[in-house]
Amino acid sequence: MLDRVVSVRPDGKISLPLVGETEAGGLTLVELASRLTTMYRRTMPGVHVTVSVREIRSRTVFFFGGVVR
């Protein structure tokens, strides 16, 4: 069994052993699990991937003043 805890980077990607880097931002848990299952099955036939949210750490950005562009 291969257990990993990874964080989604600000660019929306994650890095995992054996599959490398993949887009995670904007996907549901089911969509991400399906994508990772497909990627891992290239090297490990019959693998099943489960994805869950462990912690939410969003960044709020406030702009004060005027923005020209």
| 10-50 pLDDT tens trace | 899 999 988 999 999 999 999 999 999 999 999 999 998 99
**Residue 29, token pair as written in the block:** 């848990």
Query: H-helix or E-strand containing 21?
Result: strand 20-23
Q: Decide if 5 contacts 54 (C-beta within 8 A).
A: yes
Position 4 scores a pLDDT of 84
User: In the block, which residue shows the tokens 């990627």?
Assistant: 39
Rounded to whole angstroms, the Cα distance separating 33 from 48 reads 9
Cα 5 to Cα 16: distance, rounded to the nearest angstrom: 9
69 has pLDDT over 70:
no
Averaged pLDDT, 52-58:
84
pLDDT at 54 exceeding the cut of 70: yes
Confidence label for 61 from pLDDT (cuts 50, 70 and 90): confident
